Chains A and B, each alone.
Chain A
């Protein structure tokens, strides 16, 4: 299992590699795009930090990564592009290929069809935006040229195992750290990163806003429910706003099963995170992978070790709403 780390700059390559990154993913946003699409990213990350700024910088970073035998994957994974965007999108595709990237991470079937038709010699990785919940979706994307699929956050460990047991052979990437979206990424049509930070409530993701919640009970449900229960029910609806908060969500306990399933890549979300945090995240996972590899560890012991290391590394207890695979906590 390789650790798939975000990469935002040339300077990060060496330190992330030393920490144990086995693969990098990155995005790029030039001024030309930003002028036309100030609130729409080409790669699902709002403008600001978390992007390379020029293809020259990208090329330098890719060269450095390749010297360390680390592949670099380029995100161009907005859920859709309209025809007018294709000249710029094409420029991004071709410039990224010139920079030497090893794969595109994509989620739009239209873009995949376009890449296939243009005959670019490059691997295609399906982003979580591709919404692969079953083996036939894997087969569908494989026919479109995909060699790697990122599973959605919204599959249980058992469901992942079922898909892997029945799908045609491709590499699989799973989420293990940060940004546990409450909604299915590929089916979420809220716009992220609206307006500027000066209008703070507007800028926050829609799923993080504090809402006034009311409930309508259908049929006779209202009569059967106590006032206290109703209050609890409304309170539960507001947990939505806490889940996307990046308070170190983690799925490290599942590494045990992921190794048994033959998962290829463990994805750390975090384009735009400070270098120190990226390094800390990689070291955390690397320590656990080494522990798994070094011994015939029992699942129970591994879980205990992972939870203890999580507390030690992030100074937080495990919490069910921050757990990527909460069945491990039951």
Chain B
């Protein structure tokens, strides 16, 4: 089992331990947090020093974010380090496929559309079998999707650790599976409520506005009696914590675990 460390800030290499053979670096949720080329240079230095494999994580992006990523992918291509690119935007896959065939595309967890809302746990034992199959299933058992992904060069897909479990029995074995632990993402927004959260200005504004990277300062916990576990809002995304090792790991259906020592925002 390959173990990877996932960090979104260069300083967090402090979490590195010898068990890790791969480093994930980047962001999935916000194009404003895409690392600079300087950050990536620093991380690549660390990767080379520790003889690690490297995975660059990318978010969903507007045209502006796409331009930033194009420059970064070009820089990484010049570094002669075999790089995986986790894409969470079909446009980024299009970019890799058309312009950077040397990079290895990996389908990110935002595009792996599993149902993650924790309230599923309140009903999972009461619903008919087909409904349970859906909540615990994966579309990687659909041949047309898998054929398409492989045609695009995608042979790895990222999974969250769902509270209700994920049955990978019927999924395509040519496509490798990664499991993220312990934080599972549930939802994301561009109407970021962390932006200017500590300012008295615009308390009722909900939209896409400039920010002061308040996501790096505050973490909110949201609790309600019908939600089986607390929700954690960090930046423009919502997560829950699940530290249980799922069956798919014991069955050998997952061949890589990505460890998130902090929520990667």
Measured CB to CB, the residues of A under 8 A from B are 35-40, 79-86, 108-110, 113-114, 117, 130-141, 154-156, 159, 162-163, 166, 182-184, 186-191, 194-195, 201-202, 206-207, 209-219, 221, 225, 229-230, 232-237, 239-240, 243, 319-321, 323, 325-327
Counting chain A CB atoms within 10 Å of each CB, the highest count among B119, B142, B227 belongs to: B142
B218 contacts the other chain (CB 8 A) = yes
Give Cα A212–Cα B185 distance, bound, in whole angstroms: 20
Asked if A187 and B63 make an inter-chain contact with CB atoms under 8 angstroms apart, the answer reads no
Distance in Å: Cβ of A159 to nearest Cβ of chain B: 5
Q: Mark B141-152, 1 if CB is under 8 A from A, else 0.
A: 111110110000
**B50 at the A/B interface (Cβ < 8 Å)?**
no
Q: Are A159 and B63 in contact (CB under 8 A)?
A: yes
Q: Do A190 and B208 touch (CB < 8 A)?
A: no
Taking the complex as formed, is B90 at the interface, i.e. its CB lies under 8 A from any CB of chain A?
yes
Max count, chain A CB within 10 A of own CB: residue among B90, B188, B198: B90
Complex Cα spacing A211 to B110, Å: 24
In angstroms, Cα B146 to Cα A320, docked, is 43
Known A-B contacts A113-B145, A137-B91, A236-B197; A216 and B218 likewise in contact (beta carbons under 8 Å): yes
Quote the shortest CB–CB distance from B98 to chain A (angstroms). Answer: 8
| B residues adjacent to A (C-beta < 8 A) | 60-66, 89-95, 110, 113-117, 119-120, 122-123, 127-128, 130-131, 133-135, 137-139, 141-145, 147-148, 170, 185-191, 193, 197-198, 200, 202-208, 216-227, 231, 233, 238
A327-B60 contact, Cβ under 8 Å, with A109-B148, A215-B218: no
Contact check, A154 vs B226: say whether CB atoms are below 8 A apart.
no
Inter-chain contacts of B186 with A (CB < 8 A): 188-190
- Residue of B93, B110, B198, B227 near A140 (CB, 8 A) is B93
Q: How far is the CB of B154 from chain A (nearest CB, A)?
A: 11
Does the CB pair B119–A194 fall under 8 Å? Answer: yes
What are 11 A-to-B residue pairs whose CB atoms are below 8 Å?
A81-B139, A84-B134, A110-B139, A110-B144, A136-B91, A183-B187, A184-B187, A195-B123, A234-B220, A321-B204, A327-B207
A17 to chain B, nearest CB (A): 34
Q: Are A184 and B190 in contact (CB under 8 A)?
A: yes
Q: Across the interface, name the chain A residue whose C-beta is closest to B67.
A: A134
The reply to whether A215 and B134 form a contact with Cβ atoms under 8 Å apart is no
Q: How close is A293's CB to chain B, nearest CB, in angstroms?
A: 28
Q: Which residues of A contact B123 (CB under 8 A)?
A: 39, 194-195
User: With A184-B190, A201-B226, A217-B218 as given contacts, are A83 and B90 in contact (CB-CB < 8 Å)?
Assistant: no
CB < 8 Å: which of B66, B95, B131 contacts A37? Answer: B131
Find out whether the CB atom of A233 lies under 8 angstroms from the CB atom of B130.
no
> Out of A37, A108, A212, which one reaches B113, CB within 8 Å?
A108
Q: Using Cβ atoms and an 8 Å threshold, which residues of chain A touch B135?
A: 191
Contacts of A225 on B, CB cut-off 8 Å?
Answer: 198
| Nearest A residue (CB) for B217 | A221
CA distance A252 to B144 in the complex (A): 40
A131 to B187, CA, bound (A): 13
A330 to B46, CA, bound (A): 45
B207 touches A113 (CB 8 A): no
B141: chain A residues within 8 A (beta carbon): 82-83
**Interchain CB contact under 8 A, B116 and A190:** yes
User: When the two chains form their complex, are residues B208 and A156 in contact, meaning their CB atoms are under 8 A apart?
Assistant: yes
User: In the complex, which of the residues B116, B148, B219 has the most CB atoms of chain A within 10 Å of its own CB atom?
Assistant: B148
B139, A82: Cβ atoms under 8 Å?
Answer: yes
Given A82-B141, A182-B189, A211-B222, the answer on whether A38 and B128 have CB atoms closer than 8 Å is: yes
Instruction: State the CA gap A327–B116 with chains docked (Å).
Output: 32
Q: Is the CB of B62 within 8 A of A79?
A: no
The closest CB in chain B to the CB of A159 belongs to B62
Give the complex CA separation of A187 and B92 in angstroms.
Answer: 16
- CA of A40 to CA of B233, assembled, Å: 26
Contact B224 A215 (CB under 8 A): no
What chain B residues lie within 8 Å of A132 (beta carbons)? 90-91
Cβ A137 vs Cβ B120 within 8 A: no
CA distance A227 to B165 in the complex (A): 41
Known contacts A183-B189, A189-B114; A213 and B227 CB within 8 A of each other: no
Which residue, B116, B130, B135, has most C-beta atoms of chain A within 10 A?
Answer: B130
In the complex formed, the residue of B with least CB distance to A322 is B206
Q: A202-B226, A207-B187 are in contact. List 10 more A-B contacts (CB 8 A).
A: A37-B128, A113-B147, A139-B91, A184-B187, A188-B187, A194-B122, A201-B224, A214-B221, A218-B219, A232-B198
User: Nearest chain-A residue to B133 (Cβ)?
Assistant: A84
CB atoms of B219 and A215 under 8 A apart? yes
Contact B220 A214 (CB under 8 A): yes
Given A36-B128, A84-B137, A134-B61, the answer on whether A237 and B197 have CB atoms closer than 8 Å is yes
**Contact between A243 and B191, CB atoms less than 8 A apart:** yes
CB-based contact A206/B117 at 8 Å: yes
